[in-house]
Structure formats: C-alpha cells, structure tokens
C-alpha cells in the first residue's frame, strides 16, 4: 500500500479542467499528460479499471432494506456508540455549511449521516445515504472508498471522482482504526457539492476520526475494567490457575498459580508474550473462518464472562497439581455453582431425540431461521418451545445479537406494558429514575420471543401491532418514536383461531404473528425419544449432584412409555430428578415411580388386551373392557380418558368406583 505525502492527499480545484481532460483520455485508453493527476488519483483510477467500475455510473446502488441496515448497525454498535457524540455535534455545526458528515463500516457501507438538510437532500439523489455502499470497487474513486483502500486520509474533488454522476461533489475522508491493533473499523467523511470545497474539510475528518478512536479506547478500557471486576473474585478464591482473556482472546490478567499450572501440564503458553487464543475471540473479533483450538485447551476449563447478557471475555481455569504430584482431572462440570458455561448446548442442539415428528419440526425451523419472517410456535406446555425459539435465533444470521424473552401470561396488564415498551422517568408512580428500556427495544437487531402470546391483554394488542407494522416504538410517557427492527418468535398453547372467534385476540395481530408456524410435538407423539431423554437427564443429574451413577430398569422405561406425560419433557425431567434423588440404590425400579405413573403401570398390567374384549356379551363387560383399554392408551390421564370416551369426568369417576378400578 502506497504511503502518499500530504500534498498528494489534498485536492486543488484549479486543476479541475485539466483533470477532466485527463479523465477523457484515460477512458479512451490514452495516457494522461504528465503531472495532470496526483499519484493517489492515478492509482485509484487504474484500480477502478481493473475491477471494471462503470465510469458512467450516476449514483451508488440502492440502499439495503431497513432490516439489513439495522443488523449492520448492531454489528458495528461500538463504532456507532463511539461516533455518536461527534455525529450529534455535526448536525449542529454543519447546519449552515451545505455539507454532511458520514460514518461507514470498513466495507464502505454508510451507517449514519448528519449535517445540513440541504446537503442531505442533494445526497439522496446519488444515494449518499445510510444503507448504501461507497466502496471503491462499486462507486469508483471517492473519498470514502479510496480512503478505505489506501488506509490514509484523502480528499477527492469534482473531476477526480471516477464516476460521472458524482463529479459535482467534493469529499474528504479518513479511516477509523481500532486503537488496540490498528485494524480499520470504518471511515469518517465530510462531503458537499463542489462549491463547498475547503482544505480544512480533510482536517475536520482527521480530527473527528481521532476523537472517535479515543472514545473507542475508552470503551475498550471500560470492557477491561468490567472483565477484571467479574473475574477478580474467582481468581482470589481458588487453588487453580486462572487466566482472564478479553474479547480478542488475549490474556489480560492471571493469578499467581496460572504459570505453575501451565508448566505442570506442559502447556506451551507464555503469559508474558500475551499469546492470542483465536478460538476465544467473540463477536466482531471472531475469526472469519473457523480455527482449531489448541490441543491443550479443554472446553470444560472455559467460562464466558457476561455483562448485561453480552459476552465480554472468557475465564480460563487450569486445574492445579495435586499434592501427590498427580495432575488433577478437575472439570468445570463438577462445579454446579457456575450456571453459564461455553459448552452449554442451546438451540436446536439442545433438543434430544430422533423421532420423525421432532426431526420434521427441527427441519422446518431451520428453514425459517434463515429469514426474518415472524414464527408462531404451537404446542402444549413443557414441549420445549423456548428451545425452538433459541434455535430459530442462533441458527439464523442474528445468532450473536440479543435474544430477549418475555412471558405474556406472567404479568399484569400495566406491568406487561412497561416491560414490553419501556417507560421514561416520571411517566407513572413507581417509574424508574432515568426511565427503563423495554424488551422490544432491547431486542433491536436480534430476536424477541413472546411466550404465551395468547395471554396478551386485548388493550395492549393494537399497540404491539403498530410496532410490527411501523417498525417504531413509543416508550410509555414519551411522544417521540424510536426505530426498532427484530425477528419475532411467539409461542402459545392455545388455539388462537378460537381466541379470535371469541373476541379475546385481534384478527389482524393473529395474521401478523402467524405468518409461519411450527407445531412442536408433544412427548406422547415421540415415545421412542423417552429413553434418550432419560439417559440425558441422568447424565446431567450425575454432574449436578455427584455420587454413583444410576440407571433405570427396563420396566420403568416401559412404564414411562405407557404414561401420557401431560407436562411433556418438563414433567419427565422433574420425575427423573425426583426418582434420582429419592431412590435408595443405583438401580431405579417400579417401586420408585411416583403414584400417578405407578397407577398407570398397575392398570396396564391388569388391563385386558383389546383382542380379549368380547364382541358379543354383557354391556357392562364391554364397557369395562373399553374403559380399561382407554386408560392404558391414555397413560392414566383421566381427563383424556373421559374426553375419548365422550363422557364427563365426574361420570368416569362413578364408573371407576362401580368397577373397582382405583388408580391410587
């Protein structure tokens, strides 16, 4: 990359006619006259020819849609946060200058524009607006794209632009670098029509970039202070070696035992050289292509450090050497006090089973995860709708962005409104000082998961519908809207069509939230998965509680398969945990079953097979055989038994008493 001297970076408007003539000769294949062009411009024009930029182009490509722009802004949120103060100032000090200030990402995509309204209007005609890309490869020679190409401050005036449609403009730009490693994070540009040319515009761009870089350095220090604050307690209360790594995978602090622990295990990792561990890089700092972890690094030695739900670093714990000289087989799995572990499986990978019903639901969900379309999850309580919601979030393009969940059925109307929309200070009695961000706003750029959406009060539904239709939100007590963009995933165990018919759910909102739907199968529909789920839960419980491993006898698994599981996977997990804790031996048998499942097993053992039901006989015998068969089929769930027999539950109890079928 050429290092251009200062005089090469500044334009001279007096040379405009000469440069225009040189451009005509350049495009016709002739060599421009000597000294007609700055080396900076000549080099850039040649790059434009190499990538076949259209010199007759009149404007940049159309801007990306609002959802894509919101995603890009979220991806570069730290750059925007650091640039926010100076961009806000630009709105004022450029108000009468007929110029604008532009902030872009490292690819030349415009993230934000501020300045004189007249210049903003003119900029719109060439798509010099948020969401448009101004890379040199797409728009030819221009201050934004050329500064990013050469990595230096540049000024491009009028005829020096490569494309005809932007030759009326003058622009000055420089790159913004990461103060930590010098990587280009974006560019800042000052642009206006040709008559606004000023050499000081480049100085303004350079000064602004410096201020943004200083703010980025401050933000980085804040992250490090947060890292140290979160990790210090662990470092001082352990006999193991502990290393705190930042978001880039670099160690920033280690306790006194870390070096000894590394040496004892023969790990070639020098803390003094601050060697990077690329696999610990997160977010925007993660490698573009997957890299293998070092051979010595074990996943269960790692724990993410989170702040407000965002990963800001990693805690690496190297087990200490035991007194007998043996190396400890310590694992973070043995420490249940840590709730969040990087090897925790979430999303679709957390779904255990191989049944056709489950696999079909997962396949459909993976297809829908790639789009931003609203998804409605349908299913009974406890089937794992939130796991599916996590999968829809993580499997798509927004997996690294916020996932915000809210249960609409667990809050009063007023509290739900505050949680959803947020509020400003003093908007109501008890409002938080300084106001509060709502769940919708917190999910901006990511996924909002609304569980039990059928429970949303009718009075709130039109307000939420407006958010979905307009893409903006009003905090309670505010009069100015805030733009939001998110993927909506909703869940319900109700029939929303029935709710619409009964007037408890708005039809227009129903069609907005149910553009696509996925039915999550009940456990009774995937009985072959029960043994896999039990084995999975037993493994987790052994880690959590320690002690000898336990197993379930075959007859217990058979009893599980005969039971209806009205609470689905959640009920199964609770039953397995209860039996694990209460069983005396390592082998868990029928005697350890809870009463409601034990009664089903007993009824199943005494029930006659359907083939034994007499086709001709007394009516009472036929009735008794049918009740027994239905009890067995419905796993002892008397509500389902009554429903399938077409009688009231109270009538069923009378018949059970009549025939001596006591299930308790």
**Distance from C-alpha of 527 to C-alpha of 549, rounded to nearest angstrom:** 24
pTM for this one? 0.51
Q: Where are the beta strands (DSSP E) in 445-603?
A: 447-451, 472-473, 482-483, 487-492, 516-519, 551-552, 587-588
Angle at alpha carbon of residue 639, lines to 634 and 644, rounded to 5°: 60
- β partners of residue 190: 101, 172
Distances in whole angstroms, Cα of residue 161 to Cα of each of 42, 157, 273, 289? 11, 7, 46, 35
User: Could you tell me which of 492, 272, 284 has the C-alpha nearest to residue 376?
Assistant: 492
With contact defined as beta carbons under 8 Å apart, do 304 and 314 qualify?
yes
| Structural tokens at position 249 | 């995978």
CA distance 660 to 195: 99
Cα(437)–Cα(340) distance, integer angstroms: 24
C-alpha distances in Å from residue 191, one per residue of 48, 64, 137, 156, 171: 21, 21, 19, 10, 4
**Tokens 């490090």 appear where?**
224
User: What is the distance between the alpha carbons of residues 506 and 508, in angstroms, rounded to a whole number?
Assistant: 6
- pLDDT single digits (tens) 534-580: 888 888 888 788 777 778 888 888 888 888 899 999 999 999 988 88
Tokens of 479: 């009069």
Q: With contact defined as beta carbons under 8 Å apart, do 553 and 590 qualify?
A: yes
β-sheet bridge partners, residue 318: 241
The span from the CA of 159 to the CA of 137, in Å, is 18
Q: For the residues of 103-135, what is the DSSP string, one character each?
A: EE-TTSBEEEEEE-HHHHHHHHTTT-STT-B--
pLDDT in tens, 414-439: 888 888 998 887 666 556 666 788 89
pLDDT at 610: 41
Q: How is residue 327 annotated by DSSP?
A: B
* Rounded-to-integer distance, Cα 647 and Cα 114, Å: 70
What number of other Cβ atoms are within 10 A of residue 602's Cβ?
17
Kindly give the residue spans of alpha helices, DSSP state H, lying in 342-459: 356-369, 385-394, 413-421, 439-442
Q: Nearest 5 degrees, angle CA 147-CA 150-CA 151? A: 70
Distances (CA, A) of 168 to 2, 125, 190, 194, 563: 27, 12, 14, 5, 77
**Using an 8 Å Cβ cutoff, are 175 and 9 in contact?**
no
Q: How far, in Å, CA of 524 to CA of 539, rounded?
A: 23
Longest dimension (CA), the chain: 114
Helix (H) or strand (E) holding 248: none
Low-confidence ranges of the chain (pLDDT < 50): 324-344, 606-617, 663-664
The values of phi and psi at residue 491, to 5°, are -145, 150
- Do the Cβ atoms of 454 and 412 come closer than 8 Å? no
Distance between first and last Cα of the chain: 83
Start-end of H helices in 127-189: 136-139, 143-150
CB 100 within 8 A of CB 166: no
Contact 55, 71 (CB under 8 A): no
């Amino acid at each position: 990359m050429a290092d251009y001297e200062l005089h090469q970076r500044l334009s001279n408007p007096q040379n405009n006619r000469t440069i225009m003539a040189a451009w005509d000769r350049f495009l016709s294949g002739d060599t421009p006259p000597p000294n007609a062009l700055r080396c900076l411009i000549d080099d850039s024009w040649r790059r434009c020819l190499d990538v076949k930029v259209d010199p007759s182009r009149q404007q940049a490509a159309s801007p990306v849609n609002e959802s894509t722009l919101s995603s890009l802004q979220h991806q570069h949120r730290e750059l925007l946060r650091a640039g926010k103060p100076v961009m806000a100032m630009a709105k004022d000090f450029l108000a009468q200058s007929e110029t604008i200030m532009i902030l872009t990402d490292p690819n030349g995509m415009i993230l934000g524009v501020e300045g004189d309204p007249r210049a903003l209007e003119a900029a719109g005609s060439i798509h010099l607006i948020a969401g448009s890309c101004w890379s040199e490869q797409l728009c030819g020679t221009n201050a934004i794209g050329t500064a990013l190409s050469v990595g230096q401050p540049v000024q491009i005036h009028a005829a020096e632009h490569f494309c005809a449609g932007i030759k009326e403009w003058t622009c000055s730009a420089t790159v913004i670098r990461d103060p930590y490693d010098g990587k280009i994070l974006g560019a800042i540009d000052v642009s206006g029509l040709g008559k606004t040319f000023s050499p000081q515009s480049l100085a303004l761009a350079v000064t602004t970039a410096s201020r943004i870089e200083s703010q980025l350095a401050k933000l980085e220090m804040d992250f490090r202070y947060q890292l140290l604050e979160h990790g210090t307690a662990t470092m001082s209360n352990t006999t193991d070696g502990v290393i705190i790594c930042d978001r880039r995978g670099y160690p920033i602090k280690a306790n006194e035992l870390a070096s000894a622990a590394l040496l004892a295990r023969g790990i070639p990792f020098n803390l003094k050289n601050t060697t990077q561990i690329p696999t610990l890089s997160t977010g925007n700092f993660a490698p573009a292509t997957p890299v293998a972890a070092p051979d010595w690094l074990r996943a269960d030695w790692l724990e993410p450090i989170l702040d407000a739900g965002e990963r800001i670093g990693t805690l690496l714990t190297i087990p200490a050497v035991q007194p007998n000289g043996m190396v400890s087989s310590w694992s973070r799995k043995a420490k249940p006090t840590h709730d969040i572990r990087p090897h925790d499986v979430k999303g679709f990978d957390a779904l255990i089973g191989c049944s056709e019903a489950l696999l079909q639901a997962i396949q459909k969900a993976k297809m829908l995860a790639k789009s931003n379309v609203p998804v409605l999850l349908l299913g009974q309580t406890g089937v794992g709708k939130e796991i599916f919601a996590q999968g829809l979030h993580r499997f798509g393009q927004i997996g690294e962005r916020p996932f915000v969940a809210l249960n609409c059925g667990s809050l009063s109307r007023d509290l739900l409104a505050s949680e959803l929309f947020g509020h400003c200070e003093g908007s109501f009695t008890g409002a938080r000082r300084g106001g509060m961000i709502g769940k919708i706003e917190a999910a901006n750029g990511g996924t909002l998961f609304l569980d039990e959406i059928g429970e949303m009060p009718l009075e709130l539904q039109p307000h939420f519908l407006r958010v979905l239709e307009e893409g903006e939100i009003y905090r309670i007590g505010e009069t100015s809207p805030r733009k939001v963009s998110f993927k909506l995933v909703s869940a319900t165990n109700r029939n929303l069509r029935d709710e619409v018919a009964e007037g408890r759910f708005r039809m227009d909102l129903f069609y907005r939230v149910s553009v696509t739907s996925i039915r999550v199968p009940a456990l009774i529909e995937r009985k072959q998965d029960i043994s896999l789920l039990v084995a999975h839960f037993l493994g987790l419980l052994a880690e959590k509680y320690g002690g000898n491993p336990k197993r379930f006898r075959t007859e217990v698994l058979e009893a599980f398969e005969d039971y209806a599981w009205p609470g689905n996977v959640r009920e199964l997990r609770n039953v397995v945990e209860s039996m694990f804790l209460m069983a005396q031996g390592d082998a868990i048998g029928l005697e350890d079953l809870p009463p409601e499942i034990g009664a089903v097993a007993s009824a199943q053992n005494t029930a006659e097979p359907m083939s034994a039901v007499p086709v001709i006989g007394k009516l009472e015998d036929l009735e008794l055989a049918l009740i027994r068969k239905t009890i067995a089929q419905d796993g002892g769930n008397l509500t389902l038994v009554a429903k399938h027999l077409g009688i009231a539950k109270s009538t069923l109890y009378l018949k059970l008493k009549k025939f001596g079928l006591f299930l308790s």
